[in-house]
Amino acid sequence: MTMPQQAFVFDMDGTIVDNMAFHTDSWLAFFARRGVTLDADEFFRATAGRQGGEIMRAYLGEHLGDEEVGLLNHEKESVYRELYAPHRKTVAGFDALVTRARLEGVKLAVATAAPPANIEFTLDGLDLRKHFDAVVGAADVARSKPHPDVFLKAAERCGVQPEHCIVFEDAPLGVEAARRAGMRCVVLITTLPRDAFTDFDNVIAIVRDFSELKTELLFG
């Protein structure tokens, strides 16, 4: 019997690269300039996986127009890229995993809330785009995580049914988006502890990095 086509769908920030602390630092600096003080952990839990414009309006006001949000996003993301550029690298075990997946015939996709400039900064800056059959970002979907849109779009572009996709995530909103998409999920605890994910019934593994994954779980 022929096995159905399988896909691995990767969140990018905090999953392919361990950069969420730099994102959080850049957000905190951005808001501090405007007199808004935030708790780093609470901010991450509330916003990881959401698009920049949604975060801007949630903390600075729904009245912000698209042009103003675009300018503010540019400012914040420029700070992030400046902070993270000297530290840019993949999470341990990622390169070996995607190499094995290619050999096994597994489709590969990125599904991220990042804007195009940050996708280019990470995927092209690390020469990773060549690995992926599809890259879906904030500009490709109307709704961000926890809505399932970005994962469903990635599965569609790979030609794989959602139930045959495994998502790799680091944030509760992303795991919830995978659940709503009908996808199983591997969690990387690059930013939050294990107990932040214990209530999700679609989680099949919780690991510190890709090198801890049991291959039979993914390729069996």
Please identify every residue annotated as catalytic: 11
In angstroms, the CA 208 to CA 88 distance is 18
The residue assigned the tokens 């932040």 is 196
| Whole-number Å distance between alpha carbons of 30 and 210 | 32
CA 132 to chain CA centroid, nearest Å: 14
Integer Cα distance of 10 and 186 in angstroms: 10
Q: Which residues of 86-122 are buried (b: 16+ CB within 10 A; e: fewer)?
A: eeeebbebbeebbeebeeeebbbbbbbbbbeebbebb
DSSP string, 186-213: EEE-SSS-GGGGTT-TTEEEEESSGGG-
8 A C-beta contact, residue 12 and residue 188: no
**At 171, which amino acid appears?**
A
CA 27 to chain CA mean position, Å = 17
CA angle 172, 126, 193 (to 5 degrees): 25
